[in-house]
């Protein structure tokens, strides 16, 4: 699905040098590259507080830990997401309240969300899935009306611009109370190992989260909060410092590829192309089509036999996972998410993907569907 070797070739000199600098200095924990990265990302995101951490899952957990929630407080999110989103709510003892998604954008269904807000609701946790933003104007309105926090899961949407109804733009992850992202190697800005970051404009939460990721420590060996050990590696920060400079170019390259996919696939019946919406750009973390008439797995196998990778994100929604049976949901509770799990197929998309390869992929999709 990705060409990490090809990507390395393009930035080899810069990144080798950056790694050598860290090794020479021996500052593997909290080295100067962390601060440099923090500042560069803060400028890129136009957000005052950037807290680098160990991974995107920890970013979500630390965000939830900073809000002084009580056991049993409700956090609303979606069942059609990577499991981290739900895992951290559960681990911290808050109540997971799930809301179905929209069949075209794959993101939280605002109409259904309204009905789920209760006296116990404290947080809305929207996920900007596959690189496209949730309708944040609507989320903001609901949060304001009911006095709720918003934690954005922007793990798949780093670099995506959200476009407000008044035309103003902001980066995904800087709209809610707190935003979280991941530098897992396949994400928009991928490290060469694990990494994550948290964003906020609120100084209270910003300072608190900065302490929480380092054991809740503000002054050396004095602990203000119960914390965790979740620091970004200096080596990863050094690599990310190089790669951040190319993030926008990489997104542009992926959008071009997505446009070409749209063009080549649009006449094929029985599939639906990714929907583009007017409140968000798309960074195409994934290019995800829907395949109708129960033909998704047939297509996936057909591609596989011809050496074309494709992936199903996600094959089973969270509410039907064994580990989460005690949330009390049942099959049929979230019909859109359940149906999507049987229809979605993500095709390869990365800046190094060549037009010739893309044409071969599209021809093969057509051959399978139309035969």
| Contact call for residue 337 and ligand PLP (CB under 6 A) | no
Please identify which residue in 7, 33, 38, 57 interacts with ligand PLP, judged by CB under 6 A.
57
Given the complex with ligand PLP, which of 85 and 343 has the nearer CB atom? 85
Kindly report the number of other CB atoms within 10 A of residue 326's CB atom.
8
Q: Which of 7, 33, 55, 210 binds ligand PLP (CB under 6 A)?
A: 55
CB of 64 to ligand PLP, least distance (A): 13
Q: According to CB under 6 A, which one of 7, 38, 85, 230 is a site residue for ligand PLP? A: 85
Site string for ligand PLP, 196-215 (x = CB under 6 A): x-------------------
Structure-token match 């989320």, residue found: 139
178 CB contacts (<8 Å, ≥6 apart)?
63, 66, 67, 149, 150, 151, 152, 198, 199, 200, 202, 205, 209
Q: Which residue has 């049942």 as its token pair?
A: 330
Nearer residue to ligand PLP within complex by CB, 85 or 280: 85
Choose, by CB under 6 A, the member of 127, 178, 271, 369 that binds ligand PLP. Answer: 127
Helix H segments across the chain? 4-25, 32-45, 56-65, 84-91, 110-116, 136-146, 203-212, 234-244, 247-265, 296-305, 335-343, 355-370
Among 73, 153, 233, 281, binds ligand PLP (CB under 6 A): 153
The answer to whether residues 136 and 176 touch, using CB atoms and an 8 Å cutoff, is yes
CB 75 within 8 A of CB 89: yes
Q: Which residue's Cβ has the minimum distance to ligand PLP?
A: 56
Q: What span, in angstroms and rounded, lies between the C-alpha atoms of 261 and 231?
A: 38
CB of 91 to ligand PLP, least distance (A): 13
Strands 271-272 and 95-98: unpaired
Q: Which of residues 177-196 bind ligand PLP (CB under 6 A)?
A: 182, 184, 194, 196
The yes or no reply on residue 155 touching ligand PLP (CB under 6 A) is: yes
Do the Cβ atoms of 361 and 308 come closer than 8 Å? yes
Count of residues that interact with ligand PLP, criterion CB under 6 A: 15
Per CB under 6 A, the segment of 70-78, 114-122, 134-142, 152-160 that binds ligand PLP is 152-160
* Helices marked H in 104-246: 110-116, 136-146, 203-212, 234-244
| Closest CB 370 distance from ligand PLP, rounded Å | 33
Q: List residues binding ligand PLP (CB under 6 A).
A: 55-57, 81-82, 84-85, 127, 153, 155-156, 182, 184, 194, 196
């Amino acid at each position: 699905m990705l060409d990490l070797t090809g990507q390395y070739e393009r930035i080899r000199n810069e990144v080798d040098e950056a790694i050598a600098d860290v090794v020479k200095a021996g500052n593997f924990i909290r080295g100067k590259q962390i601060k440099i990265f923090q500042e560069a990302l803060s400028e890129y995101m136009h957000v005052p507080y950037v807290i680098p951490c160990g991974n995107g899952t920890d970013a979500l957990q630390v965000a939830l830990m900073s809000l002084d929630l009580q056991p049993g407080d409700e956090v609303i999110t979606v069942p059609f997401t990577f499991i981290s989103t739900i895992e951290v709510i559960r681990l911290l003892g808050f109540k997971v309240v799930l809301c179905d998604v929209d069949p075209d954008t794959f993101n939280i269904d605002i109409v259904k969300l309204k009905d789920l807000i209760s006296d116990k609701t404290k947080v809305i946790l929207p996920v900007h899935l596959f690189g496209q933003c949730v309708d944040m104007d609507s989320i903001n309105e609901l949060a304001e009306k009911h006095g709720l926090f918003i934690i954005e899961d922007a793990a798949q949407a780093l670099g995506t611009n959200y476009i407000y109804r008044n035309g103003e733009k902001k980066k995904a992850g800087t709209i809610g109370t707190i935003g979280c992202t991941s530098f897992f190697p396949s994400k928009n800005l991928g490290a060469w190992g694990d990494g994550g970051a948290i964003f906020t404009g609120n100084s209270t939460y910003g300072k608190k989260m900065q302490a929480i990721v380092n054991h809740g420590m503000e002054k050396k060996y004095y602990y203000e909060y119960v914390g965790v050990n979740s620091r970004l590696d200096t080596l990863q920060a050094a690599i990310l410092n190089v790669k951040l400079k190319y993030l926008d170019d990489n997104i542009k390259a992926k959008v071009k590829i997505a446009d070409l996919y749209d063009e080549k696939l649009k006449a094929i019946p029985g599939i639906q192309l990714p929907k583009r919406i007017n409140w968000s750009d798309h960074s195409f973390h994934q290019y995800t089509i829907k395949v109708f008439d129960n033909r998704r797995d047939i297509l996936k196998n057909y591609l596989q036999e011809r050496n074309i990778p494709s992936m199903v994100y996600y094959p089973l929604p969270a509410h039907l996972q064994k580990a989460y049976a005690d949330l009390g949901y049942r099959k049929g509770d979230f019909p859109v998410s359940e149906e999507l799990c049987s229809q979605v197929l993500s095709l390869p998309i990365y800046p190094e993907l060549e037009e010739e390869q893309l044409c071969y992929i599209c021809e093969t999709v057509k051959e399978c569907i139309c035969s």
